[in-house]
A and B are shown apart, each in its own frame.
Chain A
Amino acid sequence: MYGWHLRILRVNLTTHQVTKEDVDPKIARDYLGGRGLAIHYLYKEVDPTVDPLSPGNKLIFATGPLTATPAPTGNRYMVVTKSPLTGALAHSNSGGEFPTWMKRTGFDLYIFEGRSPEPVYLFVNEDQVEVRSAAHVWGKDTHETTDILKAETSEEARVACIGPAGENLALMAAIMNDKHRAAARSGVGAVMGSKNLKAVVAMGNKNPALHDAEAMRSISVETSKNVGADVKKGSNMRIYGTSYVPQVTNTLGILPTRNFLQGTFEHVHNVDGDALKNQYLIRHTPCYRCPLSCGRLTEVPDGPYKGKGEGPEYETISSLGTGCGVSNLAALVKANYLCNEYGMDTITTGMTIAAAMEMYEKGYIPEEVIGMPLKFGDHDAMIEMIKKMAYNEGFGKDLAQGSYRLCEKYGHPEIAVTTRKQEFPGYDPRGSQGMGLLYATSNKGASHMEGDVAYEEVFGVPVKENPLTTEGKPELVKHFEDSFALMDSSGVCVFVGIRYMFNKDRMILPQTLANMMNLSTGAEYSPEEALKAAERVYNLERMFLLKAGSTEDTLPHRMLHEPLPDGPAKGKVVELDKMLPEFYKVRGWDEKGWPTKEKLEELGLPLN
């Protein structure tokens, strides 16, 4: 078989025993790889009701059949586990270089189980696999850890690791790779920390064999040329990365502002792409084999927020920036650097601080509990809170539990803007109804990366859809969810995938992507069949979270009962009741949202 190695590395952290296993080629084909193959193993091996931070949970690193191939952006991996933040499923995606290096060790998946008695890291150089002491890097941030582990192994190696936030089991802890890239969401870093696994260091030369290498090269060159043509025309993604988006969402009135109390930010020009480009941008930084190159290397050259690193991207601007009412760009950039170094998801970090700011301003959390005033817009207090969260100090212990548990503890859970206890990303769904349905039903709690219909509702890709209407949104959300499950399973980045690997018709088919997967694996997927496999993945994930007890598809109070007070979507709430029953029908689920027997049979999924 090609494309996939069809090999798994299983690491029992309790005993430090390592085993190498084969993957059934039919299972690989049915579940695609990456996110899909990972849920197959998680569902088979982990009790959905397990305590996510106990040794019974498993942590899966998963590459796809296009990872480490010539496919443009074939540089992704997924981290799949049961989430300690949501109690449901976590599947977090990252690019950079580590995922390609991991695939080149000759394994598609690493499965970590148990809990090491002491801090360790895993070193993999093809068949040389060692569980080594991490005592000397425990407590260090992600940048220091990466430098030390590369120095003691090889400069040719690439590192994924946790920082202090993961060690301290903060529920917004990320797994950082290549210093600046994050498998960020749902607390995957806390699961890694609970296993006393500080880092994974990977290197090797085992590129996957390809079914038709020549044709694969040819289609990859052609796709890269299409991206390159747009870059030449002046693609915003190359010039600004995603930092141009605040102006777009502000125009539509869906820019999260002050914990979603507003949909527009009066100081948006202080924190937008032009401000970043003019003040702190050094250059763009691509992931491996990416012709788009949306990463930003930035530097604050002097002053109290002096530093150098990557970001901020849009989701960081809309959480730590506008979400907290912060308009000081240097402080926002510094906050992003700190999150990367401590290993934290900027969305949950920012929106948890935003919720705490609202709680403080309304008098629900007194100053003596926090240790300082915490008003919207206070960028120094925001930075202080990030440090306290990462190190579990004082009020940071409450913050490290995420906004839902924080607001619930102090008596006002309605202040938390979460679904399945995970914080909303940067699109207020009151002015983007399809996003509301997505957040309510997402397998991983609120997330744009679960099926980002903002592509149509906001960005007009491939066509512009009115964001304020509900008609047709159930079909649109299902299609995007399945399409994203396909991209996440294949190993490509959605930024390039959705635009350049799908047909541009109204209901887009993954013509180029399916073609690439066939040239990689020889599996002969039709585009429809590839999407059907993705639907299989999505439904198996759904079964996992339902069995975990996460059965309620709803939205927080603010989204259903507090109309937006400003902007073009003024007066709107999410009309979830108009979309949800239809969505269940479109999905082939019963009226309570469980996949029907017929749907499970159609997809070849287990009936219990």
Chain B
Amino acid sequence: MLIRIKMIANYRDALPPHHKHGVIELEVPEGTTVYEAISRFDIPLNDESVIVLNGLTVDMTTPLTEGDMVTAFSAIAGG
């Protein structure tokens, strides 16, 4: 199934160069979780990162469905 990965600001460096405004499409097997999808990219997967599914706070073991967007950004600084 096809999902989307969005990286914000400095995390865009972890995406392949063809991304559009920090978004790429990704083919993943059915049942892939948020954690499994995002761990394909070279970003810290600890409290330095915020990861949301379709903009919502979810458990990282949540399975993805077709068209979902997983977004990651750095929690190092506030706004």
Binding site for B on A (CB under 8 A): 230, 233-237, 239-240, 242, 244-245, 247-249, 251-253, 269, 273-274, 292, 294, 314, 452, 454-455, 458-468, 494-495, 498-499, 504, 567-569
Contact = CB atoms under 8 A, between A and B. Distances in A.
26 contacts: A230-B76, A235-B10, A236-B9, A236-B73, A236-B74, A237-B77, A240-B9, A244-B73, A247-B9, A247-B73, A248-B8, A251-B6, A274-B9, A274-B12, A294-B77, A459-B50, A459-B79, A460-B49, A461-B78, A462-B47, A464-B75, A468-B57, A494-B78, A499-B77, A504-B47, A568-B56
B39 interface: no
Contact of A463 (B22, B47, B56): B47
Given A464-B50, A466-B57, A468-B57, A245 B76 contact: no
Contacts of A467: 57
Interface size class of B (residues with CB under 8 A): 20 to 34
Given A274-B9, A499-B76, 20 more contacts: A233-B76, A234-B10, A235-B76, A236-B74, A237-B76, A242-B79, A244-B8, A245-B79, A248-B8, A249-B79, A251-B71, A314-B79, A459-B75, A459-B77, A460-B75, A462-B47, A468-B57, A504-B47, A568-B56, A569-B55
Contacts of B54: 568
Q: Which among B6, B8, B54 has the greatest number of chain A C-beta atoms within 10 A?
A: B8
A49 B71 CA distance: 49
B9 A461 contact: no
A520 B13 CA distance: 41
B21 interface: yes
Interface string B37-79: 0000000000101101011110000000000000101111111
Contacts of B49: 460
A236 B47 contact: no
B79 A248 contact: yes
A82 to B, nearest CB: 29
Contact of B76 (A236, A314, A466, A498): A236
A252 B52 contact: yes
A233 B8 CA distance: 15
B22 A247 contact: yes
B79 to A, nearest CB: 4
Nearest to B49: A460
Contacts of B71: 251
- Chain A CB within 10 Å, residue with most, of B8, B49, B77: B77
Interface centre among A251, A459, A467 (most CB of B within 10 A): A251
Nearest to A269: B21
Contacts of A253: 55
- Of the candidates A242, A249, A459, A494, the one having the most CB atoms from chain B within 10 angstroms of its own CB is A459
A236 B22 contact: no
A71 to B, nearest CB: 18
Nearest to B20: A269
B77 A251 contact: no
A274 B21 CA distance: 9
Contact of B55 (A245, A252, A273, A504): A252
Contact of A452 (B8, B22, B74, B78): B78
A455 B76 CA distance: 10
A564 to B, nearest CB: 11
A540 to B, nearest CB: 27
A230 B79 CA distance: 15
A495 B71 CA distance: 23
B75 A495 contact: no
A224 B13 CA distance: 26
Contact of A459 (B10, B21, B78): B78
A72 to B, nearest CB: 14
A22 B39 CA distance: 60
Contact of B77 (A235, A249, A269): A235
A568 B77 contact: no
Contacts of A244: 8-10, 73
B64 to A, nearest CB: 16
Nearest to A458: B79
Contacts of A466: 57
Contacts of A494: 78
B50 A236 contact: no
A464 B22 CA distance: 22
A455 B74 CA distance: 12
Contact of B78 (A239, A240, A454): A454
A458 to B, nearest CB: 7
Nearest to A494: B78
Nearest to B21: A269
A251 B79 contact: no
B4 to A, nearest CB: 12
A330 B73 CA distance: 26
Contacts of A499: 76-78
A248 B73 contact: yes
Given A236-B10, A239-B10, A460-B47, A292 B77 contact: yes
Nearest to B55: A568
Q: Which of B8, B9, B22, B49 has the most CB of A within 10 A?
A: B9
